[in-house]
Every structure is written in C-alpha cells, then in structure tokens.
C-alpha cells in the first residue's frame, strides 16, 4: 500500500478525530454529500422516468411507428394503404419489432342530450393487442372484433365519458360526415373506458371496430388505413424507424410516435435542461463544502504537516494524504445518500405517493426509472469531480513551513 493512502486511512479512522473540531466539519461534509446524492438521484430517476413514461404511453396507444398512405392529408380520415408495396412479413421479422396491428380511422361527432364531442374513431381489427392496452383501462374492456362482423362496442376515454355523462353499457349516437353525401349516423354501446393521461389523446380518440370505419369511409373488406408497429423498447425507435420505412413501399410512409405530438416532445425536452441544471447546482454545493472541509482539516493538522515534512515527506505526498483523507470522509455520505435516495424512490415507485395533474404533466403520478447505471454514475461522478476540485486547494500545504508548524503547535 502506498504511503499517502496508508497514512490517510490511519488518520481517517483515528480515535483522535472524535473529540475535536474535525468531528463537526466531517459531519457537515458528509451531510452535504448525502444531500447532493439524494437530490441528484431523485432528479435523474424521476426526470428520465417521466420522459420514458410519456413516450411509452404515446407509443403503446398508437404504435411506436405508424405506417400510413402518402395520399392521406391533414384530415383524420384514413386514406387507403397501398398493400402491394408493403412488406409486412419482413417488418414483423425485424428483431426489435414486438407486433403490428391494422386500423382505419374516421373523424366524427358523438352526441347525446347532454353534450357533443368531436372524435377520431379508430377502428381496430382482430389483431389488436388487448393486453398492451390493458394498462389504460379504467372500466370495462376493449371491443373484440371479428372480420366481417359489425361490433357495436366502443371504448371511450374518461374525458369523453365525463363530458357526455356516459358509463359502461350506455348507448351513444355518432355522426360521420362524408364528401358530397349525407351525414352517416351510427349507434354504439360503450363497453369500456380508458385513460392515458395524455390530453391530446383522451380528448379525441374512440376505439371501435375496423368494419364500421371501413363502411364509413367506403373501404372494401380487407382494405386498411394504416398499421401500428410496436417495438420491444422505446429507445430503439430512432434506429428502427428508418429500417421500417424501407419496407413500406413508395406509396406509403412512416411516422414515429415521438413525432406525432411535437408539443409533447418539446415539453419532454425541458427535463434534460432541468436535470443538467439541478445536478450542476448540487455538484457546486458539494464541491464548496468538501473544499471547506479540506482547508479546515489542513489548518487543524498544521502540526502533523510540519512533522511529516521534517521526516522527509514531499508536498505532493502530503497533498495526496489530505485529498485521500477527504475522499474517505465522503464515502459514508455517499452510502447514506444512496440508501435514503433509493429508499424514497422505491416508495414512490410502488406506492405512487406523489401525484401530478395530467393536464399539465401528461402523467397522474411521478414515475421512477431506477437504472443501476445512473446510480453508480452519480456516486462515482461526485467522488471524481470532488477529488479533482481538491487538487488546487491542497497546494496550501506547500506554503506551510515545517519549522514554524512545529514551533507554534
């Protein structure tokens, strides 16, 4: 073991530290480190957790990548997808693809004696992933569709249900407008109520049968308006979207879920700025406190520095001793900070104590992303940055004269 590290351990675990000024200084240093770790862990875990949760909610509702016809315009009514150029089997065979589902969407209005609501009727088929959608369900179930059968069941959002005073098993009339034709009326039965917490989705979308949507738009059996492609991991969306785009044919195109709602992505981008700002502030607080600890320990142990210099220790060795000493002092602060921070995050993850207003944050509870990589990186980052920041203040040791240090001790 090198002399500086050996000596720093000796003075760090010495019983002499328990009855002098260093006891208070060490406590302050450890407290600042613990608070820095706790705040950094909570900031990173909740910030990244919120980003991931919002992206996953958008993707789980409408697919990570959506395939549409280039003939479609800004209307919510689907244009017929070109199936000849579409290589759906190859898309399904991609390693990151978890599944696909076909749909046809049509815009309309739900109306009853209480109110009316503009909607996008998303017609789903037999390949709809009911299990994936289950996380959004508040009451009832999603409609189960068979090819060629007009299922009257629909699944509406809690927002639409509240606006129209609807509950499961209630009937509702939908009105669909068609170009150069009379409006089309359809009667549906509410079989389920969902909630995504994303206002732009909950205000508009109604889930129903694909055969109804085909009839509304004049599609033949087998025609579809789009395909939702689901990936195994939301983080693969940017790398997999171009691969899928090459397989959809020149008459179709792809849209990523993260591009579907740019205003939500702008909101998510704020998390990165907030995380960087808070961690920077906490690092500065920790560094200032640790430098203060180092300087006071140097002043308090001036006599020891004089003795070490007299015995032949170089300034570099003594600086290393005090830097190591200060970093060893930080370790309990890091340990307790991680224990408390992870404990608080686990409580939030399993019990959802802290809630949010979904209209403002697109989430009803604060999500947590407990990635071990981030936990280790935060602790190592604080330790490394603190060690580097101690180098300059430690040069105070070279100004101490061994003769004066021993004489006035």
Which pLDDT does position 74 carry in this prediction?
A: 60
Average pLDDT, integer, range 65-84 = 85
Length of the chain: 409
pLDDT tens, residue by residue, 244-256: 999 999 999 999 9
Apex 135 CA angle, 133 and 136, nearest 5? 75
Q: Which helix (H) or strand (E) holds 262?
A: helix 262-300
* C-alpha span between 398 and 304 (Å, rounded): 13
Average pLDDT, integer, range 319-329 = 80
Which pLDDT does position 26 carry in this prediction?
A: 79
Contacts of 387 (CB under 8 A, 6+ apart): 323, 327
pLDDT tens, residue by residue, 86-103: 999 999 999 999 999 999
CB atoms within 10 A of CB 200: 14
388: which 2 tokens?
Answer: 């580097």
* C-alpha span between 48 and 245 (Å, rounded): 28
Helix (H/G/I), strand (E/B), else coil: 98:
strand
- Residue 45 confidence (pLDDT) above 90: yes
Average pLDDT, integer, range 43-69 = 93
Which pLDDT does position 257 carry in this prediction?
A: 92
Query: Could you tell me if 151 and 127 are in contact, meaning their C-beta atoms sit under 8 angstroms apart?
Result: no
* C-alpha span between 68 and 257 (Å, rounded): 13
Average pLDDT in the chain: 87
Query: Could you tell me if 333 and 29 are in contact, meaning their C-beta atoms sit under 8 angstroms apart?
Result: yes
- Residue 23 confidence (pLDDT) above 80: no
Q: Predicted confidence band at 154 (pLDDT cuts at 50, 70, 90)? A: very high
Which pLDDT does position 44 carry in this prediction?
A: 94
DSSP character at residue 331: H
Which pLDDT does position 11 carry in this prediction?
A: 63
Token look-up 């430690």 returns 394
389: which 2 tokens?
Answer: 């920041």
Query: Could you tell me if 248 and 159 are in contact, meaning their C-beta atoms sit under 8 angstroms apart?
Result: no
Written in H, E and C, the secondary structure of 348-402 is HHHHCCCECCHHHHCCCECCCCCCHHHHHHHHHHHHHHHHHHCCCHHHHHHHCCH
Which pLDDT does position 296 carry in this prediction?
A: 80
Which pLDDT does position 16 carry in this prediction?
A: 57
DSSP string, 207-226: EEEHHHHHHHHTPPTT--SE
Q: Lowest mean pLDDT: which of 153-157, 168-172, 298-302?
A: 298-302
- Residue 313 confidence (pLDDT) above 90: no
Which pLDDT does position 71 carry in this prediction?
A: 85
Average pLDDT, integer, range 277-288 = 91
Query: Could you tell me if 287 and 386 are in contact, meaning their C-beta atoms sit under 8 angstroms apart?
Result: yes
Q: Lowest mean pLDDT: which of 55-64, 166-175, 280-289, 385-394?
A: 385-394
- Residue 408 confidence (pLDDT) above 60: no
Helix (H/G/I), strand (E/B), else coil: 353:
coil
CB atoms within 10 A of CB 86: 18
pLDDT tens, residue by residue, 361-401: 888 899 999 999 999 999 999 989 888 888 888 777 766 66
Strand spans (E) along 11-133: 65-69, 97-111, 116-124
DSSP string, 155-181: EEEHHHHHHHT--TT-EEEEEE--TTS
Apex 236 CA angle, 234 and 132, nearest 5? 35
pLDDT tens, residue by residue, 170-223: 999 999 987 767 888 999 999 999 999 998 899 999 999 999 999 999 898 889
Q: Predicted confidence band at 35 (pLDDT cuts at 50, 70, 90)? A: very high
Token look-up 């040069």 returns 395
DSSP character at residue 355: B
* C-alpha span between 278 and 268 (Å, rounded): 16
Which pLDDT does position 180 carry in this prediction?
A: 67
Query: Could you tell me if 374 and 48 are in contact, meaning their C-beta atoms sit under 8 angstroms apart?
Result: yes
Which pLDDT does position 8 carry in this prediction?
A: 64
| The CA-based dihedral angle spanning residues 352, 356, 358, 362, taken in that order and rounded to the nearest 10 degrees | -80
Which pLDDT does position 121 carry in this prediction?
A: 96
Alpha-carbon distances of 351 from 9, 191, 196, rounded to whole Å: 42, 29, 19
């Amino acid at each position: 073991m090198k002399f500086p590290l050996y000596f720093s351990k000796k003075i760090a675990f010495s019983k002499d530290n328990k009855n002098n000024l260093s006891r208070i200084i060490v406590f302050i240093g450890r407290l600042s480190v613990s608070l820095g770790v706790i705040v950094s862990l909570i900031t990173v875990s909740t910030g990244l957790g919120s980003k991931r949760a919002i992206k996953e909610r958008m993707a789980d509702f409408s697919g990570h990548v959506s395939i549409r016809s280039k003939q479609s315009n800004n209307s919510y009514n689907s244009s017929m997808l070109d199936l000849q150029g579409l290589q759906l089997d190859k898309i399904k065979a991609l390693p990151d693809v978890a599944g696909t589902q076909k749909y046809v969407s049509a815009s309309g209005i739900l109306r009853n004696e209480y109110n009316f609501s503009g909607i996008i009727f998303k017609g789903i088929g037999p390949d709809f992933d009911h299990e994936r959608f289950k996380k959004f369900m508040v009451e009832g179930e999603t409609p189960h569709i068979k090819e060629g059968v007009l299922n009257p069941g629909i699944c509406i959002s809690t927002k639409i249900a509240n606006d129209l005073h609807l509950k499961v098993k209630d009937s509702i009339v939908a009105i669909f407008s068609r170009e150069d034709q009379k409006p089309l009326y359809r009667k549906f039965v509410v079989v389920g109520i969902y909630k995504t917490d994303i206002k732009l989705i909950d205000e508009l979308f109604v889930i129903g049968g694909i055969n109804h949507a085909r009839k509304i738009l004049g599609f033949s059996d087998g025609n579809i308006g789009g395909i939702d492609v689901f990936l195994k991991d939301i983080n693969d969306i940017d790398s997999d979207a171009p691969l899928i785009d090459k397989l959809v044919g020149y008459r179709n195109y792809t849209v990523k879920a993260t591009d579907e709602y740019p205003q939500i992505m702008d909101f998510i981008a704020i998390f990165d700025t907030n995380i960087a700002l808070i961690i920077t502030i906490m690092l500065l607080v920790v560094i200032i406190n640790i430098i203060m600890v180092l300087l006071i320990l140097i002043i308090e142990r001036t006599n020891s520095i004089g003795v070490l210099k007299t015995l032949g220790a170089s300034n570099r060795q003594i600086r290393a001793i005090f830097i190591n000493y200060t970093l060893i002092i930080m370790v309990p602060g890091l340990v307790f900070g991680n224990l408390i921070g992870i404990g608080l995050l686990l409580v939030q993850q399993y019990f959802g104590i802290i809630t949010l207003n979904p209209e403002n944050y697109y989430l009803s509870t604060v999500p947590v992303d407990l990635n071990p990589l981030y936990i280790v990186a935060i602790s190592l980052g604080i330790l490394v940055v603190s060690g580097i920041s101690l180098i300059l203040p430690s040069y105070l040791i070279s100004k101490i004269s061994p003769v004066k240090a021993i004489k006035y001790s």
